[in-house]
């Protein structure tokens, strides 16, 4: 009986499976669309192009920031691969920490998607012409962006302008020269700018202005020392020994011709209407106004929106890794993580408000190092004694005045004194493991609104890939290199007046040095210093310099009794000592091989036609 029942059951299921087999095989996946469907539907085609922007990631708002690979900051938490780069230990097997927005594999994955879009949009004859032009322009813009990322990190790379198909047989290709790569990027930018001209696009999408901004940046790089074969060889033994310099050198025309191209490209951005904030002042802004100007530009509000040419916006939904810049970098005494902590090397480069250099040899500067500095200092950094937001409820009673405490202080205890470590130190009573090693915290991009509790809030602050002020600085640099100092000063002083700083009056090399410091301060933490120090070939003395930190000590003045600490020069004598960071934490050095990143060994194994960068 059991055997008969089994046979009947098997027969039944066999019939059911046979009758349903065709339907089962033909079932379409619910989470995927075929290529033929996507490129016959304008809405789906637009969705495909929109996804290209996914290659931008969180912009620069990841927990680890590029600033910590430079003389702007030091990353507080070990084991992230950052010291592999800062200590010049990168190699093809271990290239160190590389953000996904610049990795070789991710960029080429996105470039392939751009190539797919461009190929299929050519065949989209039923779509509205204006839509095809816009989507084609956006795809070309994004391809130019991804290639500009590869070129400025790796040098000349293989130019792939088609999407490989299964029928292709040869996937191996050599690296193109730097000149070919830059020319390709410029061509994509020009064509995209023409296609996007007059088109109305949502914030965060490519535009004519954004195309011109990429062109300005890449041509500025192409004119710089690192990209000039003769100059690079004279400044670097590694570059001099390189067998194929054309991969890393831009050889189009002479230096003057390249700087003229860079100047013209930057001026094309400056001539765009509607961009720039508070740039028409005839004298320096008052200090408080200047701090507000810089803060507004960093937060892209109250006029700062007009600074943004192309940005990564964060909308409504929480970002898994992005949009929590206050949590990632804020003080541990506020329950934040102190990730990318500013270092003294940067702090010392902020001028005094009168335009003179800060110097520890000046007794007045050394006694009060945070007084009368460039107003951008106060909108960028949190330092000992700085006023900040209300402390959280569990800490408020320890600091009712909401002042940053990164020092060690004397307090009264009975008839004697005790040593007290500030709430924002690594010996704090609040999350000491998240304290800064450097004595500073990151303020820029963090909304000072006291109702925003950083560790609980995903802030919707855009990341500025390209802002108008960068184009001004690009123009100034090109003018200086062409000997057009008066024009350079005119535009540089627009930025300085907005920032509450007096006009520069220098010429020649002195003007160049003032400009470079201005660029360092104005664009701090915006991912420029990494590239600027390399393309100027000044990395040995900047990126390779030992990390400097500050030790702050407050001793009670005679006759003073204080049991609850607050920053108070009337009760404390403060001393400031600059020291090297413990080499066990970070021991920076510079080797010339670090001018460009190494290509990972896995990529070399996949494509044996690739040539490795010098020094690796």
Residue 12 has pLDDT above 70, yes or no: no
Residue 141 has pLDDT above 80, yes or no: yes
Distance CA 269, CA 309 (A): 9
Distance CA 369, CA 358 (A): 8
Give me the residues paired with residue 91 across strands: 94
DSSP 300-358: T-TTGGGGEEEEE---SSPPSSSS-HHHHHS-GGGT----EEE-HHHHTTSPBTTSPPP
Cα–Cα nearest to 122, from 163, 182, 169, 183: 163
pLDDT at 15: 46
Identify the three-state secondary structure at position 511. Answer: helix
Query: pLDDT above 70 covers what percent of the chain?
Result: 93
> 215, 147 in Cβ contact below 8 A?
no
Residue 369 has pLDDT above 90, yes or no: yes
Q: Which residues contact 432 (CB under 8 A, 6 or more apart)?
A: 332, 425, 426
pLDDT at 324: 83
Distance CA 324, CA 59 (A): 12
pLDDT tens-place string over residues 212-255: 999 999 999 999 999 999 999 999 988 887 777 899 998 878 99
pLDDT tens-place string over residues 485-523: 999 999 999 999 999 999 999 999 999 999 999 999 999
pLDDT band at residue 321 using 50, 70 and 90 as cut-offs = very low
- Phi-psi group of 71: left, alpha or beta (phi > 0 → left; psi -120 to 50 → alpha; rest → beta): alpha
Distance CA 580, CA 587 (A): 9
Identify the three-state secondary structure at position 212. Answer: helix
The arithmetic mean of pLDDT across residues 73-90, rounded, is: 97
pLDDT tens-place string over residues 548-606: 999 999 999 999 999 999 999 999 999 999 999 999 999 999 999 999 999 999 999 99
């Amino acid at each position: 009986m059991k055997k008969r029942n089994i046979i009947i059951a098997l027969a039944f299921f066999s019939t059911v499976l046979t009758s349903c087999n065709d339907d089962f095989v033909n079932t379409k996946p619910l989470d995927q669309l075929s290529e033929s469907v996507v490129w016959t539907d304008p809405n789906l085609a637009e969705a495909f192009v929109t996804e290209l922007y996914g290659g931008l990631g969180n912009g620069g708002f990841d927990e680890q920031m590029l600033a910590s690979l430079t003389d702007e900051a030091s990353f507080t938490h070990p084991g992230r691969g950052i010291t592999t780069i800062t200590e010049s230990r990168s190699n093809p097997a271990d290239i160190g920490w590389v953000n996904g927005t610049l990795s070789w594999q991710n960029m080429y994955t996105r470039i392939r998607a751009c190539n797919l879009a461009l190929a299929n949009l050519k065949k989209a004859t039923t779509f509205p012409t204006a839509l095809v032009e816009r989507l084609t322009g956006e795809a070309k813009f994004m391809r130019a962006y991804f290639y500009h990322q590869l070129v400025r990190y790796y040098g000349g790379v293989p130019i792939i302008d088609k999407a490989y198909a299964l029928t292709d047989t040869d996937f191996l290709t050599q690296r193109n020269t730097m000149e070919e790569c830059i020319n390709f990027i410029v061509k994509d930018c020009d064509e995209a700018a023409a296609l996007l001209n007059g088109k109305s696009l949502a914030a965060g999408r490519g535009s004519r202005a954004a195309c011109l901004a990429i062109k300005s940046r890449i041509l500025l790089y192409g004119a710089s020392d690192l990209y000039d074969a003769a100059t690079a060889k004279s400044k670097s033994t590694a570059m001099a020994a390189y067998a194929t310099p054309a991969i890393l050198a831009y050889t189009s025309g002479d230096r003057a011709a390249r700087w003229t191209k860079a100047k013209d490209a930057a001026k094309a951005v400056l001539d765009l209407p509607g961009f720039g904030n508070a740039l028409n002042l005839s004298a320096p802004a008052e200090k408080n106004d200047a701090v507000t100007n810089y803060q507004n530009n960093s937060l892209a509000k109250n006029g700062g929106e007009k600074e943004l040419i192309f940005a990564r916006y964060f909308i409504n939904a929480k970002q898994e890794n992005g949009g929590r810049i206050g949590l990632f970098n804020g003080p541990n005494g506020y329950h934040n993580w102190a990730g990318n902590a500013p270092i003294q090397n940067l702090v010392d480069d902020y001028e005094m408000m009168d335009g003179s250099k800060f110097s520890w040899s000046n007794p007045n500067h050394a006694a009060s190092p945070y007084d009368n500095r460039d107003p951008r200092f106060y909108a960028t950094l949190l330092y000992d004694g700085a006023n900040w937001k209300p402390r959280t409820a569990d800490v408020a009673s320890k600091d009712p005045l909401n002042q940053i405490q990164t020092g060690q202080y004397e307090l009264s205890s009975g008839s004697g004194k005790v040593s007290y470590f500030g709430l924002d130190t690594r010996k704090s009573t609040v999350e000491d493991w998240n304290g800064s090693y450097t004595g500073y915290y990151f303020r820029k991009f963090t909304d000072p609104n006291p109702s925003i509790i950083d560790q609980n809030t995903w802030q919707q602050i855009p990341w500025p890939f390209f802002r108008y002020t960068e184009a001004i600085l690009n123009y100034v640099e090109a003018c200086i290199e062409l000997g057009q100092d008066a024009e350079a000063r005119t535009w540089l002083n627009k930025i300085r007046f907005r920032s509450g700083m007096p006009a520069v009056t220098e010429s020649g090399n002195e003007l160049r040095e003032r400009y470079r410091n201005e660029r360092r301060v104005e664009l701090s933490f915006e991912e420029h210093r990494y590239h600027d120090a390399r393309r100027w070939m000044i990395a040995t003395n900047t990126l390779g310099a030992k990390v400097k930190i500050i030790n702050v000590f407050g001793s009670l003045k005679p006759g003073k009794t204080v049991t609850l600490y607050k920053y108070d020069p009337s009760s404390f004598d403060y001393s400031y000592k600059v020291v090297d960071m413990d080499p066990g934490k970070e021991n920076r050095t510079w080797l010339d091989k670090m001018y460009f990143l190494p290509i990972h060994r896995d990529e070399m194994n996949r494509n044996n036609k690739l040539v490795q960068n010098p020094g690796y």
